[in-house]
A and B are shown apart, each in its own frame.
Chain A
C-alpha cells in the first residue's frame, strides 16, 4: 500500500492558490518528503476553475490525483469544492472557504449559484467551513486569505513536522511576514 498522501487545492484564478501550493510543497520538501505538484496554465486561468494537485510521500510517481483519491480538498471557493468532490477519498476531509465567486453563466443570468453547497458538502464529507476572506480582512489584508487556508490545511493534515514559520519567511516579502504568520495561525485555529 502506497504511503503517498494527496492534497487538492481548488478555487478560481486570482485567489492566490499558486502561492499557497508553493508554501505547501516547500514545507513538505523541507520535512524530507518526495513531492510532486501539478498545475494548469494558459487558457484555463482566465477566470476559470483552477486546481493545484500536491502529492507527497516516500516516493511519488504520478503528478496527478485520481478520482476518489484525494485525502483532502482545500477549496478557496464554495462551488469549486463541490465540483471536485468526486476526487475526494471516501472518508476524506474538505476544508472550505465560505466565499462565493459567481461564474460567467451566473453573471449573465443563464444559471443560478447553487444555494445548498455547504449542506451538500457537510452531508457528503467531513467538512470544515469558515470565512477565510473575512479573517484575512480583519487581519488587514484580504490577500492573506490563501495563507489562512494553508494554516487550516496544515492542521487538518497534521503536518506538524514542518517549520511553517521558516517557510513563510522564505516566501513572502519582509513587510508581509508578520501578517502572514498571523493568517497561518488563524487558519490553524479554525479546526
Chain B
C-alpha cells in the first residue's frame, strides 16, 4: 500500500517498521510531527516529550545502552542543546541502534538561525544519512539503525524543512520485531573517563575508516549516468531541485550517506564528467571536502549559501535562465506578519508591560516572541531557549555594576521554563540577582502546535501524569513566597500591579500569568480552573471616540475605520480591549 506522507510522518512510519521501541524529543519546528506520529504506535514504541533536547538525547542513549533501538528528534538548534551527550556517545558507541534526527530550517521559516547541522556529524565523528523525499525518509530509518549497530555508532539523520513538511507517496513495509539486545556491564565502553576516552578515540578513528569504505560501496550513494558534460554531486532536497532543472541533461552522484563522504566514488565520478557542480543547500559542506581532495568543482561561487534553495535559484545560478513572470507592482501589497491570536493570553500582559518606562525586556523562544512586533514592541532581546532569564540576570547585574538606572524583565513561556529557564532562575536566586522573571503559563507548548509538557498533566501518549506546580517550583528554588505573583493575564489591573510590585522589589521576584492558550482544546482540569468564556466584545459606536487605543493592543479582531470595529467571528471575549478603552465604549454581549 502507498500513503501520502510528510517526511516527518514517513520517519515515524520508518521507526515503526525498523523495530524502534524507544523515542524521545522536545518539540521544535520543523521536527515536531515526528514524535506526534510515533505516539500512536503505543503498543510497539514507548515515546515521550522530554523537557529539553539534551534530556531527549540522553534518555534515548540510556535506552540504546539498555539494548533498545532508539530515536531522538529535534530541530537544528536543539542539537546545540544536546551536543554534550552527542559527542560522548559518539565515542562510546551504541548497543541498540540509535539515530538522532536533526531537522534543519534553511530559510528560517520558524527559527532564529539557519545553521547547517551536517557539520555535527563531521565534528562528532559519527555516520550521517540524508533522505531526499518522504519515501527515503521512511526507508533510511531502518538502514540508519542497521549502520548504527553494525559500525557501533550513533547516526545523524539529517532532514530539512522541505523534507519534513512536503508530502509524497510512500510504499509501506512490514514491522521488523528486533526486540532488545542483551545488556552487559562494560565499563571501558560506557564509562567515559579520560583513560577510557583515550582508548575510545582511537576506535572512533578506525570506525571512520570503515565507514568511509561503506560510504564508497553503499547504494545510498548512487550514480545516475546521463550526458557527461555536466556532473552534479548533490544530496537531500537539493537533489530533487537539481533533477527538476537538469533532468536527463546531466549525470548525478546522489548522496544519501553524507558522512564520511565516498571520496573514491566522488573521484571516479569527477574523472568522467567535463564540469563538476556541487549543488547543496546552506554551507559548502560537500564542496569543502571535495576541494580538499584536490578535485576541481563549482559550488558556492554560483549557488548562494544564504537561505533556502529552489529550482529557480539553481537554474539562474548555473544556466542563467529565468522564467518570465507577471509584474504586479509590489507596493500594492501590504505585509502579513504573524501576530498573537485574538484572545491570546499573552496580549494583556505585554500590553501593560509595554507601558513601563526604563525597562529592558529580555524575551525567549515561543509565541510570545511576537510581543516584539508592532504595536506592542515589548521585547529587547531573543537569543535562545531559556536566555530570557539568564541574559536578563546578566544585563541587570551589568547595569547595577556600572550604576545604570534600568530594570530588566525576563519573559518566558511555561514549556520553555521547564526546558532551561529553571536553571537560569536558580542563577538569579543563587547570585542574589534582581531581574524580574515572568513565566507566561498558557498550559501548553503553543508555537509548535500544542504539545503536552511537564506542566500540563498529560504525557505525549495521552496518559495522565503529575503536573509540575510552577509557583511551588519557584519557591523550592528559593524565591520567597511573597515575591511570587500569580495572576490572570487578561486582568489588566492585576498585570499592572504585579509588574509595579516586582519592579520595586530588591530581591528575586517571579510573576506567573496563568491562562490557557486560546487555541488549546481545554483539558477537564482547564475547564475546572478557568471555566468557559461565552461572551464576546462589541463596540458601542455612540461612545467610541475614535482614539484607537484598543488597536494598540494589537488584537487581529479589531479593525478601525472611522470607529473601532470588532470582528465577531474572531473575537473570543478576552476583554482586554474592553479594559483598555478609556471611554467604556466596548461592552460584553452574549451573556
Contacts and interface: CB of A to CB of B under 8 A. Distances in A.
A161 B123 CA distance: 52
B167 interface: yes
Contacts of B559: 102, 106-107
A125 interface: yes
Given A79-B336, A82-B332, A105-B337, 7 more contacts: A12-B336, A41-B165, A42-B109, A66-B323, A67-B323, A113-B334, A125-B326
A108 B374 contact: yes
Nearest to A46: B338
Contact of B110 (A41, A83, A110, A125): A41
Given A36-B167, A42-B30, A49 B4 contact: no
A69 B374 CA distance: 34
A41 B29 contact: yes
Interface string B205-237: 000000000000000000000000000000001
A2 B311 CA distance: 14
B192 to A, nearest CB: 36
B335 A108 contact: no
A140 interface: no
A88 interface: yes
Contacts of A42: 29-30, 109-110, 447-449
B333 A104 contact: no
Contacts of B241: 61-62
Contacts of B244: 61-62
Nearest to A66: B312
Listed from nearest, the 6 A-B pairs whose CB atoms lie closest are A42-B110, A42-B29, A63-B166, A68-B323, A46-B338, A43-B110
A29 B162 contact: no
Most chain B CB inside 10 Å of its own CB: which residue of A41, A89, A109: A41
Contacts of B340: 46-47
Interface in B548-584: 548, 551-552, 554-556, 558-560, 569
A134 interface: no
Interface in B513-555: 548, 551-552, 554-555
A63 B238 CA distance: 11
A124 B167 CA distance: 31
B324 interface: yes
Contacts of A146: none
B109 A46 contact: no
Interface in B411-456: 447-449
Nearest to A110: B374
B324 A68 contact: yes
A111 B331 CA distance: 11
A88 to B, nearest CB: 6
Interface of B: 4, 29-30, 32, 109-110, 133, 161-162, 165-169, 237, 240-241, 243-244, 247, 310-312, 323-329, 332-341, 367, 370, 373-375, 447-449, 548, 551-552, 554-556, 558-560, 569
B162 A63 contact: yes
A124 B330 CA distance: 13
A80 B339 CA distance: 17
Contact of A86 (B4, B310, B326, B334): B326
A38 B326 CA distance: 23
Interface stretch (A114-122, A151-159, A168-176): A114-122
Contact of A46 (B162, B166, B370, B555): B370
A85 B552 CA distance: 32
Interface in A37-88: 37-49, 60-64, 66-69, 79-80, 82-83, 85-88
B339 A104 contact: yes
Contacts of B312: 66-67, 69
A98 interface: no
Contacts of A43: 29, 109-110, 338, 447
Contacts of A107: 551, 554-556, 558-560
Nearest to A59: B243
A47 B240 CA distance: 31
Contacts of A44: 109-110, 338
A86 B338 contact: no
B326 A103 contact: no
A68 B326 contact: yes
B538 to A, nearest CB: 17
Given A43-B109, A86-B326, A120 B548 contact: no
Contact of A29 (B4, B110, B370): B4
Interface of A: 2, 12, 25-26, 29, 34-49, 60-64, 66-69, 79-80, 82-83, 85-90, 102-114, 116-117, 120, 124-125, 142
A86 B166 contact: no
Contacts of B370: 46
B334 A114 contact: yes
Most chain A CB inside 10 Å of its own CB: which residue of B335, B340, B373: B335
Contact of B310 (A35, A64, A106, A124): A64
Contacts of B326: 68, 85-86, 88, 90, 124-125
Nearest to A38: B166
Contact of B240 (A62, A112, A116): A62
A25 B560 contact: no
15 contacts: A36-B167, A36-B168, A39-B166, A40-B109, A40-B165, A46-B340, A46-B341, A46-B447, A62-B241, A86-B328, A107-B558, A107-B559, A108-B552, A109-B548, A124-B326
A38 B243 contact: no
Contacts of B29: 41-43
B566 to A, nearest CB: 11
Nearest to B323: A68
Contacts of B329: 120
Most chain B CB inside 10 Å of its own CB: which residue of A42, A90, A113: A42
A180 to B, nearest CB: 20
Given A41-B30, A86-B326, A104-B556, A26 B165 contact: no
Given A40-B109, A42-B29, A49-B336, A69 B328 contact: no
Contacts of B166: 36-39, 63-64
A47 B328 contact: no
A1 to B, nearest CB: 10
Contacts of A12: 336
B169 A103 contact: no
Contacts of B569: 142
Contacts of A110: 374
Most chain B CB inside 10 Å of its own CB: which residue of A43, A80, A117: A43
Nearest to A104: B339
A104 B570 CA distance: 14
B554 A79 contact: no
Contacts of B551: 107-109
A83 to B, nearest CB: 5
Most chain A CB inside 10 Å of its own CB: which residue of B4, B243, B551: B4
